[in-house]
Structure 1
Amino acid sequence: MGKLFVFYLTVCGFLLCMSFSPFIALAASEQPKTIFIVSSYDSDDLCGFPQYHGVLEAVAKAGFKDGENIIIHTYAMDSKKTNNTPSLIKSQGEIVLAKIKDVHPDVVVVVDDNAFGAVALKLVDSDVQIVFSGLNGQPEDYNDTIKWMDSRQKPGHNITGVIEKLHFVEAFKVQKKIMPGLTKAVIISDDSFTGKAVIKQIHRELSEESVDIAFEFKVSSSWESYKKLILKISSDPSVGTIYPAATLLKDKNGVTHDTAEIIRWTVKNSRKPEIPINYSFAQLGMLGGAGVDFISMGRQAGTLVALILNGHKAGDLPIEDAKRYAFVFNLSRAKELGINIPSDILMASDAIYR
């Protein structure tokens, strides 16, 4: 009798477990997804924060709500102003890699090149899916160092993302409408990796489509040389417009001057209209025009993240150029420079600062 009772309990327990197994499997399938967003910048940077915000918008639009069905981890490497030497960037990357190992996210998002090099390229062909946003360097150049991509159309490994297309030609077409007599412009960069990558991207875009303007490229290696160059250009009547692309400069005392400080000084001391790389730079005083829409670029990256969370592999998703630019203008700066922006251009603008 005792053996029969034990057998009865065993059978009932087995049947009970079987009846609940679909619900257990369902509960397991509904575990929150996890993404880890790593920014090269500090947390509120003019270039980094809009991309971060865009990623969150896109994944939310795809149905992933933070705290409900997705967990979001973030880390700001602050590699543009504070941790901006190769050794410090490497150390920041090691910190992030340790955190990723602990969290084991479904997707890692890296914003800008320092995070891409220090984090993404260390995880090539791992089980972590990776999406980059705002990459300035050419994918093929990175691929020469570490094989992470078969082609832009089908990367084939575990990384995809969005390249920071500058829409450089379009920016100067708009400037030509504002200033019909424009014949010469100067592009001013720094000698950082990002500065060199921006120049290379400009040449790439000019090779695909030209504009009837003579371009002169200048590179500043220090804060002092940059200021001297801006003052020299400002007094040159042959130069109609400048395209400031320097985002990080150190002075003779080793003090770092970041993008916002560079822009503010330029606006205060230059008498030439400025076209911004990032449309938000117009808010800091630049004249404006057609600039990269960093929020939209983040949304593009976030859309790729959502596809991966829904079962796609990063290696099967094509690498994209940033699709959208934004028209923005600072009317106070226009008035200061004596420039009249045509009403049809203003009506088509995304934002106007007064």
Structure 2
Amino acid sequence: MRFLLLALLLASPLCFGKTIVVVQSYHIEYKWDADYINAIQSVLGKDHDIHVFELDTKRLAKTDWPQKAADTQNAIAELQPDVAILGDDNAFTLMAQHLADRNIPVVFLGVNGGPAQHPALDHPMVTGILERPFFKDSIRHLRKVLSERERFLVLMDDSPTMRNAVNEFFGEKREATLYGSQLDIVLTNDRDTWLQSVFDAHTQYDAIVVGTHHTIRDAAGNYITPNELMTEAFARTQIPIFSFWDIFIGKQQGIGGFTVSAHQEGLTAARLASLILGGVSPDKIPQMKSLSGHYVYSESGLQHWNLELSPLIASQANFVD
């Protein structure tokens, strides 16, 4: 079934003049959103009418989300789209059931929660890509990059997103061994705990690999941005920091790694939407996990840590800054 679906994705049927809505959990200035929307536009924008809506849930107070969702639902009802593409968990939570119940096919991307968190995943009008970090592939890759690679600290926020990803792959364990490397997994929403884990990591570990860190707050309850956290972590860490996501890689951020790509997620979602626009029912399209990652590296980060990629990896990598 997987190979059949891949074949269909590569040969999506031609269909013209349809209306598509894309609902972002966040906002267009957020790199993850910008990357997947550009990918969707590259596949569908030439032949279809695409309308993009921001739920803006990173910046709006949670108490304002229901009204924002209602306004978006009303705007979508006026458009009567042929398919809706929902980006990330908040858009799925706020929009999927409503749209599917109105017989609007839903394609999702970037969703980390499972059916327990998102019952609408089981709706016959819903299909898409469950976003999952490439734990095994990332560690296997880093073992090729690093000479010291016995122990890794995997550091994430304690969000439903990361708990679901970790529990799905590792179960309840917070220690694991992959390809001979020992992993210790720390999930926390406390700024001081997160940063102290980074500062102390050199006493036990050879490198740090970060997951998402979007739900971190200080002792007073103030929200700490991912950029602020990573900048301070980069300035004070004594061992290199890698990432499972490409959006956390750059100058004074993560060095790189084998990462989840928003662009790839967007391409896949657009191809699934194309299948639906061509007449394939969503319940005939199996939901899938992230299909492929990519190598992304910060040139300044490699220089800072005096690391050099092999010619093969370098030839396949995207470089930033």
TM-score range, shorter chain: 0.7 to 0.9
Deviations 1:193-214 (A, max 9, x none): 223233235427x9xx942211
Paired position in structure 2 for 1:134: 110
Judge conservation of contact 1:240–1:272 (CA < 8 Å) in 2. yes
Amino acid of the structure 2 residue aligned with 1:141: A
Q: Partners in 2 of 1:252 and 1:318 — Cα distance? A: 43
Count of aligned pairs between the two proteins: 301
Deviations 1:89-124 (A, max 9, x none): 333322222222222211111100011111113334
1:258/1:175 CA distance change after superposition, 3 Å: same
Q: Does 1:58 align with 2:77?
A: no
Paired position in structure 1 for 2:186: 218
- SS of aligned partner of 1:47: helix
Q: Does 1:259 align with 2:253?
A: no
Q: Partners in 2 of 1:319 and 1:328 — Cα distance? A: 26
1:342/1:286 CA distance change after superposition, 3 Å: same
Paired position in structure 1 for 2:7: none
- SS of aligned partner of 1:249: coil
Q: Partners in 1 of 2:93 and 2:261 — Cα distance? A: 23
Judge conservation of contact 2:69–2:94 (CA < 8 Å) in 1. yes
Q: Partners in 2 of 1:243 and 1:275 — Cα distance? A: 5
Q: Does 1:182 align with 2:158?
A: no
- 1:202-351 pair list within 5 angstroms: 202-203=169-170, 210-233=178-201, 235-236=202-203, 238-245=204-211, 246-284=213-251, 285-349=253-317, 351=318
Q: Partners in 2 of 1:121 and 1:142 — Cα distance? A: 13
Paired position in structure 2 for 1:72: 50
Q: Which runs of 5+ in 1 are unaligned?
A: 1-29, 150-155
Q: Report the RMSD for the aligned CA atoms in angstroms.
A: 2.5
Q: Give the alignment's TM-score, normalised by structure 1.
A: 0.77
Q: Does 1:39 align with 2:21?
A: no
Q: Partners in 2 of 1:228 and 1:84 — Cα distance? A: 28
In our comparison, the structure showing a higher alpha carbon Rg is 1
Judge conservation of contact 2:153–2:185 (CA < 8 Å) in 1. yes
- SS of aligned partner of 1:283: coil
1:46/1:268 CA distance change after superposition, 3 Å: farther
- Per-residue deviation, 1:176: 0.4
Deviations 1:18-50 (A, max 9, x none): xxxxxxxxxxxx994211111111212122221
Amino acid of the structure 1 residue aligned with 2:272: L
Identity of aligned pairs, percent? 19
1:256/1:319 CA distance change after superposition, 3 Å: same
- SS of aligned partner of 2:129: strand
Judge conservation of contact 1:291–1:327 (CA < 8 Å) in 2. yes
- Per-residue deviation, 1:147: 5.5
Q: Does 1:171 align with 2:147?
A: no
Judge conservation of contact 2:139–2:178 (CA < 8 Å) in 1. no
Q: Partners in 2 of 1:52 and 1:119 — Cα distance? A: 18
Q: Which runs of 5+ in 2 are unaligned?
A: 1-14
Q: Give the alignment's TM-score, normalised by structure 2.
A: 0.85
1:79/1:147 CA distance change after superposition, 3 Å: closer
Amino acid of the structure 2 residue aligned with 1:44: E
Q: Partners in 1 of 2:210 and 2:300 — Cα distance? A: 19
Amino acid of the structure 1 residue aligned with 2:149: L
Q: Partners in 1 of 2:196 and 2:297 — Cα distance? A: 26
Q: Partners in 2 of 1:91 and 1:250 — Cα distance? A: 25
Q: Partners in 1 of 2:74 and 2:258 — Cα distance? A: 40
